[in-house]
Amino acid sequence: MVVRRREPGARARGRGAGDPWFTPPDAITEKVLRWVERVGRWGTARPFGWPVTRAQARSWLDDFVGSRLYDFGRYEDAIRSDARFLFHSLLSAPLNLGLLRPLELARAAEDAYRAGRVPLASAEGFIRQVIGWREFIRGVYWQLMPGLREANRLDARRPLPDFFWEPEKTPMRCLREALTSVRDTGYTHHIERLMVICNYATLAGLDPRAVSHWFWAGFVDAYEWVELPNVVGMGMFGTDAFTTKPYVASAAYIKRQSGLSAKGRGPAAAKHEGPCARCRFDPDRRSGDGACPFNAMYWDFLARNRGWMSENPRVRALFGTLDRWGDAEVAAIRRAAEAHRDTLVSGGYAFAIDEDAG
């Protein structure tokens, strides 16, 4: 049986979009939940609403195609504080568990497009994620293992800050919301994983293996074959084997995705609030009081890695900006980045992850 639970403010254009299905636990799931509550050391087991049977997974797929796929393409990169799931499918866990087949998802999206129920950009965008990215990532895993576990191209060694486990401890709203979502639901969507959590982790110089272990502990869809290439490869540039540059960005990117962007203009975007809106940090300031730490850390990252990054035609132009600012401003930015990193506290949590446990 499935029940509908509405996400506040997530409806767009009267289509009921953004209302994922939540499945009440059956007797077996209930038993497992009790066990998890007994032995679990972090995270919240309840409320639990993920699909655990083939029939439930099919309902989730039908619900996604019928209500949220329409707006998937338009809002897939958006970040909102009041709509945690936006128009995403939430199907990675049932897919990874084998309750759904990738081709089944692609066909369902194609059929909806051919029937005129969803726009091409949404059907194509979704199909590309499933049979493009997902399959590609699987190939990457087999290609790069076993070395991928230890890959650390940037030689980043900083331990995981405690606020990854206790999100209330970070004052950065975008980060706090994404980390809280992981702790409480086992989920955040792609852009929060990549451009909030991993962006921060890369800029702060966190150890990719520690970050990978945290992802493993936190996400409902985490399996090594898909988690590791995404976190260590795509998210943290631990290897350049399949991305040509690090996925790093300043606060300007997060502000754009969390506000009214070209992609997100429209009724749904106007109704929702992004994390920059009421953050205590200013995304438009690079240093000084109240400046968003993403800015100083981003430009500091570029300055630190200038040697090899300035050879890269995809990012070379950014160094012209640094040069225009002059030494004094760059020095201030770098001091601000260092000051932020000095605030990070680690060591309050020690979880042993057995990477060979399955």
Ligand X SMILES: Cc1cc2nc3c(=O)[nH]c(=O)nc-3n(C[C@H](O)[C@H](O)[C@H](O)COP(=O)(O)OP(=O)(O)OC[C@H]3O[C@@H](n4cnc5c(N)ncnc54)[C@H](O)[C@@H]3O)c2cc1C
Question: What is the binding site for ligand X (CB under 6 A)?
Answer: 88-92, 95-96, 126, 129-130, 133-134, 137, 189-190, 193-194, 198, 215, 219, 221-222, 226-227, 230-231, 234-235
* Sequence-separated (6 or more) residues with CB below 8 Å from residue 73: 119, 121, 122, 123, 124, 125, 126
- How many degrees, rounded to 5, is the angle at CA 19 between CA 16 and CA 25? 145
Q: Which CB sits closer to ligand X, 81 or 202?
A: 202
Give the nearest distance from C-beta 111 to ligand X in angstroms. 16
Phi, psi (degrees; rounded to nearest 5) at 3: -120, 155
DSSP class of 164? G
Report the alpha-carbon distance of residue 241 to residue 192 in Å, rounded.
23
Give min distance, CB of 236 to ligand X, in A: 8
Closest distance to ligand X from the beta carbon of 227 (Å): 3
Smallest gap, in angstroms, from Cβ of residue 9 to ligand X? 18
Nearer to ligand X by Cβ, of 222 and 254: the residue is 222
* Nearest distance from C-beta of residue 148 to ligand X, angstroms: 13
Distance CA 355, CA 148 (A): 12
Q: Are 257 and 191 in contact (CB under 8 A)?
A: yes
The nearest distance, CB 93 to ligand X, in angstroms, is 7
Shortest Å, Cβ 319 to ligand X: 26
- Cβ neighbours for 158, distance < 8 A, ≥ 6 positions apart: 204, 205, 206, 207, 341, 344, 346
Q: Which contacts qualify for 321-329: CB closer than 8 Å, 24 or more apart?
A: 329/286, 329/287
Residue closer to ligand X by CB (options 85, 299) is: 85
Assigned token pair, 99:
């309750």
DSSP 8-state secondary structure symbol assigned to residue 160:
P
Residue 242 burial (CB < 10 Å; 0-12/13-18/19+)?
Answer: middle
Indicate the residue among 95 and 151 with the shorter CB distance to ligand X.
95
When the beta carbons of 190 and 306 are compared against ligand X, the nearer one is 190
Q: Kindly report the backbone phi and psi dihedral angles of residue 22, in degrees, each rounded to the nearest multiple of 5, phi listed first.
A: -120, 135
Q: What is d(CA 281, CA 274) in angstroms, rounded to the nearest whole number?
A: 13
Comparison of 233 and 333: residue with beta carbon closer to ligand X: 233
Nearer to ligand X, 235 or 283 (CB): 235
CB of 358 to ligand X, least distance (A): 15
CA distance 258 to 40: 33
Residue 98 one-letter amino acid:
G
**Closest to ligand X by CB, 219 or 291:** 219
Q: What is the closest distance, in whole angstroms, from the C-beta atom of residue 217 to ligand X in the complex?
A: 11
Query: Rounded to whole angstroms, how far apart are CA atoms 100 and 65?
Result: 14
Cβ distance to ligand X smaller for residue 89 or 287: 89
Nearer to ligand X, 92 or 250 (CB): 92
Token code pair at residue 162 = 């405690």
CB of 357 to ligand X, least distance (A): 16
Q: For the chain, give percent helix, strand, coil, nearest 5.
A: 55, 5, 45
